[in-house]
Structure 1
Amino acid sequence: MQLIHTADWHLGQSFHGQERHAEHRAFLAWLLDTLTEREPDALLVAGDIFDVVNPSLRAQGLFYDFIVDAHERLPRLDIVLIAGNHDSGNRIELPAPLMKRLRTHALGRVSWHEDGTLDAERLLVPLTDAKGTPRAWCLALPFLRPSEVTGGENQEAESDYVSGMHRVHRELIAAAKAARAPGQALVAMSHAHLHGAAVSEASERPIVIGGEESISAALFPPEVAYVALGHLHRAQQVGEPRIRYSGSPLPLDFSEVHYPHQVVAVTLDDETLAGIDTIPVPRPVAMHRIGPAPLNDVLKGLAALDDDPALPKDSWPWLEVRVELDAPLPDLRARIDAALEGRALRLLRLERRLPHVSAAGTPTPISLETLGPRTLFADTWKKRWGAPPDDDVLADFDRLQQEVLDSDDSDDTPEGRP
């Protein structure tokens, strides 16, 4: 049987204050045509369907229109999707009873039996071939929030987040092994950060603050024919070809301009992986990153860019400009705007890089992007109290920031709040 693996759509993303509806619509149209051409048996969407937990009605409309159109074109297609850390698990599962009528299975949360064991049955989705015969099981594991796998009356044996995630994976894989019949493959789908995987430079929200979010690829035994991962935006395998991040279909930050953007076509032969084919996703809107370089070099780079004024404005290329300066230049923006006047380009971001004098007296460029909330907090603490924060203070800060990230996942959050 054949599967298509994709993830990290981030529908509704606000890109430096600009919406990307046209790009998302173009990607979903391309994906629909690709499914129609290849006629796979299943589509796996490994989380971060939306960019925020309360996506706009427009973003939700794109998503649900895609589900309906896919079912109309391919009535036998199984679609399995899980919530990522940007999604609301409750929102993903809310229309699940209706989506099942469209052969779409939406998993947003894990749940537990009264005896403290995982309710694995609801996370096991049978995948059928064109004749309707079950040929594989999808282990659909949504993003695991700390509150779901640590503490609580049903998880007394696990008090640590990572060990809790390990436990969920182990119990689900054990249940899948027990459920499958001879000749049926196991396909795991998880939204997580695996040890050794390459993280995007700027655009990925950490699952857990403090660096403890990653899990081991060894969790997936050889009996699992393929592991469809989401969360990291760079397409990559982790350790072995069967364990893969599909990557995001579109660049989500200028740091991702040169990533390969793709979906993954997977062929299974009974219980084993028979082949993997990557399908490049066409980029509907070009994205350019100029610099960091001195102003004269930046202006030359801008002059060399191709642009087409005949394109509709929502198809004009996105542009980031990074200028290295020896001293503040008050009219920098005016100079850049003058260089772009009349050009079919959309300047989203202008970064000024001023020298920072290190302790050794050597100027080094510094940018707020090189700092994170944790570093800013530590620097502020040191300036206020004359000494860096100790480990307990940093741990409290990490917990507080995680609570802020998780607090968005609430039905009470106003519509459209990022």
Structure 2
Amino acid sequence: MKLLHTADWHLGQTFHGQERHAEQRAFLDWLLETLETRRPDALLIAGDVFDVVNPSLRAQALLYDFIVAAHERLPTLDMVLIAGNHDSGNRIELPAPLLARLRTHALGRVHWLDDGRLDAERLLVPLTDASGETRAWCLALPFLRPAEVTGRRGDDDAPVDDYVGGISRVHAALIDAARARRANGQALVAMSHAHLRGAAVSEASERPIVIGGEESIPAALFPEDIAYVALGHLHRAQQVGEARIRYSGSPLPLDFSEVDYPHQVVEVTLDGERLVDLETLGVPRPVAMQRIGPAPLAQVLDELESLDDDPDLPRERWPWLEVRVELDAPAPDLRARIEAALAGKALRLLRLTRRLPQTEHETAPARVDLETLGPRKLFERTWQARWDAPPDDTVLADFDRLCQDVLDGQQDAGELDR
């Protein structure tokens, strides 16, 4: 049988304040065409379906429209989706009874029985072929929050207080239940949203999965009789130790640091209980991303002037642009100069960063009373510390005007309050 593994859609994500609905819709349209062409038996979506726990109605419509369309095109397709750390488990499960009629299994949380054991049966999803025969079992394990797995008693009746220990207990219980359920010739496929030890993380876009503690889990949690492990959470597509343990990665770059990643879905072929083939399918990028720099301002301006663009593109398809400038002196008009270089180009400047010169480390200044120092003098000190020179009269005049604007705004607000 064939499976398609994807994860980390982050539907509803805004990119530096800009919505990405057109890009996400284009990916889902491509995925529908890919399903129809490749005709897998199951689609596995390994968490972070949405970008936030309270996604917009538009983001939810993207998901549910996709599920309906996929079922209409491939009526025998099994779809399994789990909640990630960006998702609300309850929200993912809310439409589960309706989704089940579309052969879609939505798992958002783990449940515990009255005797303290994991309710593993609800996390076991049969994966069937076109004839309706069960060929594999999906161990669909949504993201585990610490409160769900700690403070409960283990097999030795001792409470499990550490996060990784609680996760290990859940995995062991689920794998035992799957082994007991499957028949000869049926494969076991684990799906989890987690950070595996040794995997490569993104530079900037991945939210820590657990705040304030050890979060990575060992790949040894997945024994050899698990034919394939479909992982979500890390945006870089990669295998962890073995080819059978794999992050599909996000289908779209979620930060400029991910521009050079291969964005893909993974096609998995099973023969009986064994993994026999893997193929990565590259996802077309509906909106280009470009990074300029880091480089000195003159070089950046030259590169911006020479950038190619396509004025016939609709605005929602204009490339996203990040500009990184190395400064060796103050440039108060930096943004204006960058925008002037981009005037008339079909590009969207989303991020402008400045790399300031390194100054020699100095001893901490003596404590000062901010109230007696005043904002102007504090500004002068800060400028001097950063640029190793005092601000000139033009800069100070600009600062005074800004302070006056703030004071005027506060006064106007007070008049409205009265």
Short-chain TM bin? 0.7 to 0.9
Cα deviation 1:221-259 (Å, max 9, x = unaligned):
000000000000000000000000000000000000000
What is the distance in 2 between the residues matched to 1:309 and 1:63? 31
Would the aligned equivalents of 2:153 and 2:159 in 1 still touch at CA under 8 Å? no
What is the aligned partner in structure 2 of residue 128 from structure 1? 128
Is the partner of 2:80 in helix, strand or coil?
Answer: strand
Partner AA of 1:39 in structure 2:
R
Partner AA of 1:314 in structure 2:
E
One of 226, 229, 247 as aligned partner of 1:227: 229
What is the distance in 2 between the residues matched to 1:206 and 1:300? 38
What is the distance in 2 between the residues matched to 1:196 and 1:50? 26
Deviation at 1:305, TM superposition (A): 2.1
Is the partner of 1:224 in helix, strand or coil?
Answer: coil
Cα deviation 1:91-130 (Å, max 9, x = unaligned):
0000000000000000000011111111000000000001
What is the aligned partner in structure 2 of residue 315 from structure 1? 317
Partner AA of 1:90 in structure 2:
N
Residues 1:299 and 2:301 are matched in the alignment: yes
What is the aligned partner in structure 1 of residue 291 from structure 2? 289
Deviation at 1:359, TM superposition (A): 3.3
Unaligned runs of 5+ residues in structure 1 are 362-418
One of 159, 162, 170 as aligned partner of 2:161: 159
Residues 1:168 and 2:135 are matched in the alignment: no
Would the aligned equivalents of 2:228 and 2:275 in 1 still touch at CA under 8 Å? yes
What is the aligned partner in structure 2 of residue 255 from structure 1? 257
What is the distance in 1 between the residues matched to 2:106 and 2:43? 12
Task: Give the structure with higher Rg (CA).
Answer: 2
| TM-align CA RMSD | 1.4
Is the partner of 1:30 in helix, strand or coil?
Answer: helix
What is the aligned partner in structure 1 of residue 91 from structure 2? 91
Is the partner of 2:357 in helix, strand or coil?
Answer: strand
What is the distance in 2 between the residues matched to 1:359 and 1:59? 48
What is the aligned partner in structure 1 of residue 359 from structure 2? 357
Cα deviation 1:365-417 (Å, max 9, x = unaligned):
xxxxxxxxxxxxxxxxxxxxxxxxxxxxxxxxxxxxxxxxxxxxxxxxxxxxx
Partner AA of 1:46 in structure 2:
A
Deviation at 1:156, TM superposition (A): 5.6
Deviation at 1:306, TM superposition (A): 1.7
Would the aligned equivalents of 2:152 and 2:159 in 1 still touch at CA under 8 Å? no
CA 1:14–1:156: 2 relative to 1, 3 Å: farther
What is the aligned partner in structure 2 of residue 70 from structure 1? 70
TM-score (norm 2): 0.85
What is the aligned partner in structure 1 of residue 60 from structure 2? 60
What is the distance in 2 between the residues matched to 1:180 and 1:226? 15
What is the distance in 1 between the residues matched to 2:115 and 2:257? 46
Structure scoring higher RCO (CA < 8 A, sep ≥ 6) equals: 1
Would the aligned equivalents of 2:7 and 2:48 in 1 still touch at CA under 8 Å? yes
What is the aligned partner in structure 2 of residue 199 from structure 1? 201
Alignment of 1:111-122 (within 5 A): 111-122=111-122
What is the distance in 1 between the residues matched to 2:38 and 2:21? 26
Aligned residues: 361
Deviation at 1:296, TM superposition (A): 1.2
Partner AA of 1:163 in structure 2:
G
Unaligned runs of 5+ residues in structure 2 are 364-418
Residues 1:325 and 2:327 are matched in the alignment: yes
Would the aligned equivalents of 2:153 and 2:160 in 1 still touch at CA under 8 Å? no
TM-score (norm 1): 0.85
Partner AA of 1:17 in structure 2:
G
Residues 1:37 and 2:37 are matched in the alignment: yes
Is the partner of 1:277 in helix, strand or coil?
Answer: strand
Cα deviation 1:309-357 (Å, max 9, x = unaligned):
1000000000000101012210000100000000000000101111232
Deviation at 1:209, TM superposition (A): 2.4
Would the aligned equivalents of 2:294 and 2:323 in 1 still touch at CA under 8 Å? yes
What is the aligned partner in structure 2 of residue 22 from structure 1? 22
Is the partner of 1:193 in helix, strand or coil?
Answer: coil
One of 277, 280, 283 as aligned partner of 2:282: 280
Alignment of 1:261-276 (within 5 A): 261-276=263-278
What is the distance in 2 between the residues matched to 1:202 and 1:336? 24
Would the aligned equivalents of 2:327 and 2:356 in 1 still touch at CA under 8 Å? yes
What is the aligned partner in structure 2 of residue 337 from structure 1? 339
